[in-house]
Amino acid sequence: MGGGPAKEHLLIAAPQAIPEAIVSRLQSKFPDIDVTSIQVNSTSPKLVDVPASTFAKVTILVTFNVLPSDPSKDAKNLDWLHLFSAGSNHIQHHPLYTSSDVTITTSSGIHGPQIAEWAVMTALVQSHKYKQLYELQKEHRWGKTGAGDDYHNVRDWVGRRIGVLGYGSIGRQVGRVAKALGMEVIAYTATPKDTPEKRRDPGFIVPGTGDAEGEVPSKWYSGLDKESLHEFLRQDIDWLLVSVPLTKETTHFLGKKEFEILSQGGKKPTFVTNIARGAIIDQPALIEALKNGTLAGAALDVTDPEPLPEDSELWNLPNVIVTPHVSGVGQAYLERAFQVLEVNLERRQKGERLINVVRRERGY
């Protein structure tokens, strides 16, 4: 918003205490920035109110959901908001997003390793019939050694195809791991990636992960219209990973028609994994497709709504795995979020373009 003081003031507002080592490292690396950390006792995704005076001198705010209720009045010096989250949809109705020119960056890129592990784990649990094996273990039964039981009917993923709907940092890491399993990877993005430059990942990358140059997919598809989406879904996909951001265009992006196209009219049921947002999928249509055999199964870390109601049919469907939006949680989460912040603090000092900047017109 401009008019900031000569010395930068960085405020970290988080639901947990930030380790002193992180605060000290920031102060040591960036001596021209005053760093303050406060703990806000809330893990809710809803925005949290704190006294307006908290933001008076703040030029850089690092948080998930602690925002000034009236930025133009209470945070006149604020010119950069860094979110701990990969997305910004939870603040998109806030005046800081809708009515200011404050730069907003996210922690996109830090979730790839743990979410990819969750996606592969749950897909293998389903394909290897692990639920049945676990029940045998609980009953102290060895099970049958001959063919005939479902858990003997296992097909590996070699030579099969994964469609990554949203080839961002998470999609790239899932694609990397899927290729290591012997799968073919095809990618879908909002805009065309028809040059090597466009296929590169411009955001934060955890070292040793992802697909920085965009070399993993054998084919690329793009578009936000249903015709383009349907062309992608017709590509004989065995496993569909949903990893697009939730926007106006992607709300209920997948429904009854899309599931029928994906499974070739039920002739080849596909396994669907959603680690993005629940509202991207028409949930009643998903339930019906899972019940009638249009889809082989689903792994859902996100639902619509959340928490998933106790009476939802999803809980009891044998071909479904539901977890409470935890695929991105891990011990390295906080450290990596601050790595993104530090990269951008260094870029800011050098006058370079920041990474992971939210483009408000696109919603992410």
Percent of the chain with pLDDT over 90: 86
At residue 351, the pLDDT reads 96
Omega prior to 305 cis, within 30 of 0: yes
Q: What is the pLDDT of residues 22-76, one digit of tens each?
A: 999 999 999 999 999 999 876 555 566 677 788 999 999 999 989 998 999 999 9
Q: Where are the beta strands (DSSP E) in 133-282?
A: 161-165, 184-189, 219-222, 239-242, 270-274
- C-alpha to C-alpha distances, 216 to 155, 167, 180, nearest whole angstrom: 23, 11, 10
Residue 225 pLDDT > 90, yes or no? yes
Q: What is the pLDDT of residues 159-185, one digit of tens each?
A: 999 999 999 999 999 999 999 999 999
Amino acid at 159: G
Q: Where are the beta strands (DSSP E) in 93-205?
A: 103-105, 161-165, 184-189
Q: List, edge to edge, every strand of the sheet that includes 80-83.
A: 33-39, 8-14, 60-63, 80-83, 103-105
The arithmetic mean of pLDDT across residues 125-137, rounded, is 95
pTM over the 0.85 mark: yes
At residue 285, the pLDDT reads 98
Is the pLDDT higher at 5 or at 171?
171
Band of pLDDT at residue 333, cut at 50, 70 and 90: very high
Q: What is the pLDDT of residues 258-312, one digit of tens each?
A: 999 999 998 999 999 999 999 999 999 999 999 999 999 999 999 999 999 999 9
Give CA–CA dist 208/238, Å, rounded: 27
Percent of the chain with pLDDT over 70: 95
Q: Please report the domains of the chain, with CATH numbers, ordered by start residue.
A: 8-108+331-362 (3.40.50.720), 111-322 (3.40.50.720)
Amino acid at 177: V
Q: CA 325 from chain center: how many Å?
A: 10
Band of pLDDT at residue 16, cut at 50, 70 and 90: confident
